[in-house]
Each structure stands twice: as C-alpha cells, then as structure tokens.
Structure 1
Amino acid sequence: MFTRVSYELRVMGKRIIWVPIALAAGFIAFAFLLHFMGVKMERFISSGFEMFLPIITGVIVATSATQDPALEIQLTMPRKYHNTSIFRLAVIVLWSIAIGLLVAIIPSVLHLTFLPDQLKKSSPVFQFLGLQYSWIATTIWFVAVALVASLLTRNRSASSAILGAIWIVQVLFMAHLVETTSWLQPLFLFPTIVAPQINFWTTNRLEVLLTGLVLLPVGWWLLHNTEGLLKGASEE
C-alpha cells in the first residue's frame, strides 16, 4: 500500500503534500501576527479550515486526480482507470483532512476557535468535533464538485475557474441569498464564518455533506467514459 501511495504521489506531483501543509502553517503564522497586533484572530483561523482548505483541496483534485501523462497506457491496463482516479482522490482528501485535524488541535487548545451560535452551549469536546465536521463536510462537497467539473469540462483551468466562482459567490452573496431564498440553504458552504448566527447550521452541515456524497458516484460514473477521458487528455 505504501509503495502504491508513493507512486501515485509521484504521478500527481509533490504539491499534493506541501500545499495543505503550507496553507495551514501560513494561516497559523499570520494568526499569531494578528494576535501580537492586538487583532482578534479566532474568525480568521476558522476561515482557514472552512473557507480555504476545502477549495484548495478541490483545486488539487480538479488538476491532479484525473490527470495522467500516460493515460492511454493506463486505460489498457488490468486495473481500471476509474479505480486509479478514485484512489488518487482518496489520497488527496485523506491527506488534507489529516493535516487539517492535526493543525486544528492548536486553536482548540489555545481557546481560539470561532463557534457558530448552535455550538456555543455544547461541551468543549462536542464543539471541537462539530467544527471539524463542518469543514470536512465542505471539503467533501468541493472535492465532489471538482471531480465532476473536471470530467465534464475536460479542462483543468475551466474546472478551477468554476470552483473559484462558486467560492466568490459563497463569500460575497450567499449569506443574503439564504435569508431570502430558503431552498438555497443546503448549498450554503461557509455558514460558520459568514453567518454564525443562523439557526439551521447543524442541518446545513449535514445537507452539504450529503450533497457531496451524492455527487461522488456521478464522478465515478463519468470516469467510465473512456472516450471523454482521451479527448480531455488530447485537449490538455
């Protein structure tokens, strides 16, 4: 298993390893700089987990998990390519989540977490688990959308642009949209940071996670489209 993981990491590139680490380290370092400047940093730290780590993981998936310089050879091998792609996706997601969970211990121990209203009266253990569940759900959503977008567009730049557009809409407009359009509530990706006062935070987190889990089989099905994969490889 270790040999297989090492091989897939070489194929996808070292950025799979260092980008999540660099992001986490950068946020923690900048947060302490804000602390010394007398600026409250709890919300900033939490935004790193819920707003930035998920989209970074999604972009990595969109640009790496389904890309292979030897795609034609892969498609002729006994191991099906869709299995290889899903394995790569799992490596990316599990690594990002592992880094996130390890780094999340620091603000939790230092009592620098930013909580939504629905978690404030919970026990410290439940608060910690709830916050991790929140950003993991968003990460799964972005990963699933990235997989589907990359397979539909067959273009790394286009799929990354789609993720970026979603992120911008979520940050700038979604808090207002969910107040006036209730059916958009299941698509609210950053409620902890953008609207911590909402009374549907717990329900929203479950809906976001389920949406991501539903989209993953769609990506699995699209990976079976050999003609589309080859066309996308030639266009790249």
Structure 2
Amino acid sequence: MTQFLHLDHLRYEVHILGPVLFFIPLALVAVFVGLTGMFLLGHVVHILIASLLIAALEACLPLAAGIILSTVAVQDASLELLLTLPVSYRRIVFLRFALILGWTLLVEWGASLALSAFLPWVPVKPLATFQLTWLAPSLWLSGACILLALLLRNQASSGAILGCVWIMQLLFHGFFAQNGWAQPWFLFATLYTPDASFWLTNRLELIATALVLFAAVWWFLRDPERRFFGEDI
C-alpha cells in the first residue's frame, strides 16, 4: 500500500511540475540531432560536428537543467498549502528537484550512449569516463542555480548570473584551463581540453562542489517561511 502511495505521489508531483519542463531537454536533443543530420549531409568535417555535440552535452543541456530547477525553486503557487502539510517542505522540494534533474541526466545519458553507438568518433574518452562530460557540469550548474535563486529570491537574476559565468567560461576558456586556481571551476574541460592532465580531477571537483551546493540548499530550506519575505516571482 505504501508503494502505491509513493507512486501516486510521484505522479502527482510530475503533474504539478507540468510536461513542459520535462519536454525541454528532449527538445534540445532534437534540435542538435537535426543540426547533426544537416552537417552530415553537408559533409562538414567530423571535428566540428563532434565539438557541436560535446557542447550540447557539456554546456547546453546542463545550463537548461539549472535554469529549469531555479524556476522550480522559487515559483510555487501552492507554497502556503505545502507549509501546512505534515511532510517536510524541503523534502517535497527536493523530490521535485530530483525528478527534473534525474530526467535531464537520463536524457543526457541516453544521448551519450547514442553517440557512442552511432557516432563513435564523437566521445573523446572511454564510454564510462565520458559520462563525466555531462554529469559534472549538470550537477554543478543545477546546484548553483537553485542556491542563487533561493538566496536572491529571483529566478531571472540567478539565471543571468549563471549565464554570465557560462558565457565567460566559453569565451575565456584558455584562462580557466591555464590557471590552476580556476581549473576546479572550469565547466567545459571536455570541449576544450579533453587531454589535459587535470581533466579527471576537474570533473571530480565539480561534482564535489555540487554536493556542497545541494547541502547548502538543504540547509537553507530548513526555514521555508523565509520564502515569504521579499520573494520576487
């Protein structure tokens, strides 16, 4: 009976979140599949196609996940009702985070398997290691976007700040790759420096930092009433 209640709860939360949020990662994948097909038909060199697809996995999908999660973090029309339930508010919120993030990671994982099967010249690492290409930035950007959105009480501001960080790392990737203090925060090591000696360390550091960010989000939500003060949604 408990299992059915849990399944009902999951279905309810998916219904509350709405299909659009789950459709966005699939739509992005479809766009890049279409671009890849056009480039293959146009006989574009493989290295450019590989860079496009790695950028999709390492840059575009992770940023989309972060922006979606920041929206979930601060926009909740039923906040007052949720605070009256016997279930911990932050448990409900983290369940929603897990549903969105888990779905996005599943889409990225499926895309990486498809690349390995149909375009084996795209992955620049062994398949198991290649999964860190999308996993590390997805977790980091998600944690950072959620925490900023909660602290600023504004999804647009948090998205703008993380978007600036995202663009700066793309534009000045050489600086982040060449300076030891910046390497732990370098989100796009696979795209620009896949053979660097710090690649694996960079991936693990991003994941470790992401866990710290999610721990900070959990701590912040211990007092959900603060959501009522100065929130801009």
How far apart, CA to CA, are the structure 2 residues paired with 1:4 and 1:24? 28
Code of the aligned partner of 1:84: I
- Which deviates further from its counterpart, 51-60 or 22-31? 22-31
Aligned to 1:89: 97
Unaligned runs of 5+ in 1: 120-126
Name the residue aligned to 2:188: 190
Matched, 1:22 2:30: no
Which amino acid is the alignment partner of residue 6 of structure 1? Answer: R
Supply the AA of the counterpart residue of 1:46: I
Show the counterpart of 2:154. Answer: 155
- Residue pairs, 1:1-236, within 5 angstroms: 1-39=6-44, 40=46, 41-110=49-118, 111-115=120-124, 119=125, 127-179=126-178, 181-233=179-231, 235-236=232-233
User: Where does residue 123 of structure 1 map in the other structure?
Assistant: none
Aligned residue pairs: how many?
224
Task: Judge which range, 105-114 or 197-206, deviates more.
Answer: 105-114
- Verify the 8 A CA contact 2:58 2:188 in the aligned structure 1: yes
Q: CA deviation at 1:137?
A: 1.2
Q: Structure 2 regions of 5+ residues with no counterpart?
A: 1-5
TM-aligned CA deviation for residue 222 of structure 1: 0.9
- Superposition RMSD on alpha carbons, in Å? 1.5
Secondary structure in structure 2 of the residue aligned to 1:182: coil
Question: Structure 2: how far apart are the matches of 1:178 and 1:24?
Answer: 27
Work out the CA distance in 2 between the residues paired with 1:232 and 1:226: 13
1:17-49: CA deviations, max 9, x gaps? 100111111111211111111112112111111
CA deviation vs aligned residue, 1:188-232 (integer Å, no higher than 9, x gap): 111111223422101111111111011111011111232321125
Q: Deviations over 1:68-113 (max 9, x none)?
A: 1010111121111111111110001110111111122221112142
Contact residue 32 and residue 53 of structure 2 kept, 8 A: yes
For 2:88, the aligned partner's letter is: K
TM-score by length of 2: 0.91
Q: Which amino acid counterpart does residue 201 of structure 2 have in structure 1?
A: T
- Partner secondary structure for residue 160 of structure 2: helix
Q: Give identity over the alignment, percent.
A: 32
Deviates more, 1:53-62 or 1:38-47: 38-47
CA shift digits 1:132-166 (9 cap, x unpaired):
12211111101110111111000111111122111
Contact 1:12 1:65 in 2 (8 A): no
CA contact (8 A) 2:74 2:153 kept: no
* Cα distance, 1:66 vs structure 2: 4.2
> 1:139 is matched by which residue type in structure 2?
S
Structure-1 residue corresponding to 2:3: none
One-letter code of the match for 2:13?
E
Q: What is the CA–CA distance in structure 1 between the aligned matches of 2:226 and 2:96, rounded to whole Å?
A: 19
